[in-house]
Amino acid sequence: MNTAFRFDQVLHWLANGYLNWAWWQILIFTLIVTHITIAGVTIFLHRCQAHRALDLHPIASHFFRFWLWLTTGMVTKEWASVHRKHHAKCETIDDPHSPQVLGIQTLLTRGAELYKKEAANSETLEKFGHGTPDDWIEHNIYSKFSWQGVALMLIIDIFLFGAIGLTVWAVQMLWIPVTAAGVINGIGHFWGYRNYDCEDASRNIMPWGILIGGEELHNNHHTFATSAKLSSKWYEFDIGWLYIQMMSAVGLATVKKTSPKPVMSDLRPADQGTLEAIIANRYEIMARYSKTLRRFFSNEVQHMQVLAGHLSDARSWLCKDETRLSEEEKLKLEELISANTQLRKMIEMRRELQMLWGRSNATREQLVSQLHAWCQRAEDSGLTSLRDFSLRLRRYA
């Protein structure tokens, strides 16, 4: 009888675990713990360790390190190294996980495998792993016994929930490989919208970064990599930034850098201060110029049939940096500007403006002179769009 009683107890425990929770309570628990993991990745691994956008209080830092050891088994130095190399070699053959090079299907199905392969590259760790935790607990527990953390998490889940704990644990183990290695590293460089025409193929997957901690705003991040805040438009939301602000309010985080915000002054002649402000805000300025160019093009379409033939696709490539246009797009651009002298003027003025922050041997004084001349030509061009843009440009401070 005692044996039968004990057997019933074991069966009951396997079915319900220590907590004996209903299915919806277990679901809520799973969503909470996976979200904490996402928060740990975006706040600690990504923004703090990889990009140094903020500093964390030791309490917060040690919590995230322990939690990520339990729920992912990832080593901080490895993660930061792989991510830094991704930024340094983005969209090239040396990028550890570019869908533009390897294909989107590869990233979605083998994203975690690509990460592990690069994390095992000692040269990558040596070159890109500086400044990550190098203390006793890192060497003797987190790095030395990286898989034991997730094994402990498995025991905890089974103890709390019984057999269903296996499913909870499996979801926890898949959460980062699917959302980060697959969705962000894959879709984040393949599909979505772009606020800024930065040098790579990064995209914002959606304007509300909640499920993946704000990492959905990937184009914003690649444009301002060292910013602790990933949202940049009024309609965008970065829940990771909300958590950072809450932590800052109680002394657990210190923000070091965010993306530059334009500061406008009274209208003045272009000078060195204007030049420095323009260079600092160049991505925002070029995004604004792109909008000006699109509006100008749409107005001109009404008057020229040759432009109307390209209306459907021109809006997607007309405002790209010309160095990133395909050969077909370059031919279309040349056809457009050869048919409209005003559009040619707009394109040429964009090229000249970009030269202010491109690689050059020009001195600061020469660049200021070029900026002053650019503004003068824009305001004398007879094009209202260019004139208005130049007047705004001269207000940057």
Q: What is the pLDDT of residue 115?
A: 95
CA distances (Å), origin 276, targets 31, 352, 356: 46, 16, 10
Each domain of the chain, given as residue ranges in start order, spans 2-255, 272-393
CA distances (Å), origin 308, targets 147, 292, 314, 344, 357: 60, 18, 9, 16, 33
Q: Return the half-sphere exposure (C-beta side, CA atoms, 13 A cut-off) of residue 273.
A: 12
pLDDT digits 0-9 by tens, 266-282 = 999 989 999 999 999 99
Question: Which two structure tokens, joined as six digits, stand for 214?
Answer: 């704000």
Handedness of CA 185, 186, 187, 189 (dihedral sign): positive
Percent of the chain scoring above 90 in pLDDT? 76
Q: What is the mean pLDDT of residues 339-362?
A: 87
Residue 316 pLDDT exceeds 90: no
Angle of helix 364-379 relative to helix 272-280, nearest 10 degrees, comes to: 90
Question: Tokens 């309570």 belong to which residue?
Answer: 25
Q: Phi and psi at residue 76, in whole multiples of 5°?
A: -55, -50
Angle of helix 104-119 relative to helix 76-88, nearest 10 degrees, comes to: 130
In the three-class reduction of DSSP (H, G, I as helix; E, B as strand; rest coil), residue 254 is classed as: strand
Question: Which two structure tokens, joined as six digits, stand for 111?
Answer: 């994203």
**Better-scored residue on pLDDT, 171 or 298:** 171
Residue 254 pLDDT exceeds 70: yes
What does pTM read for this prediction?
Answer: 0.90
Report the length, in residues, of the chain.
397
Q: Which residues contact 212 (CB under 8 A, 6 or more apart)?
A: 38, 42, 179, 180, 183, 184
Residue 44: band (very low, low, confident or very high) from pLDDT cuts 50, 70, 90:
very high
Residue 307 pLDDT exceeds 70: no
Residue 304 pLDDT exceeds 70: no
Residue 204 pLDDT exceeds 90: yes
Q: What is the mean pLDDT of residues 27-51?
A: 98
Considering only 142-151, 323-332, 373-382, which range has the smallest mean pLDDT?
323-332
**Better-scored residue on pLDDT, 5 or 181:** 181
Residue 329: band (very low, low, confident or very high) from pLDDT cuts 50, 70, 90:
confident
Q: What is the mean pLDDT of residues 334-339?
A: 80
Please give the mean pLDDT across all residues of the chain: 91
- Alpha-carbon distance 185 to 198, whole Å? 16
Q: What is the pLDDT of residue 326?
A: 81
- Alpha-carbon distance 122 to 126, whole Å? 6
- Alpha-carbon distance 117 to 102, whole Å? 14
Angle of helix 58-71 relative to helix 146-161, nearest 10 degrees, comes to: 80
- Alpha-carbon distance 293 to 288, whole Å? 9
Residue 336 pLDDT exceeds 80: no
Q: What is the mean pLDDT of residues 39-53?
A: 98
pLDDT digits 0-9 by tens, 88-131 = 999 999 999 999 999 999 999 999 999 999 999 999 999 999 99
Q: What is the mean pLDDT of residues 299-321?
A: 66
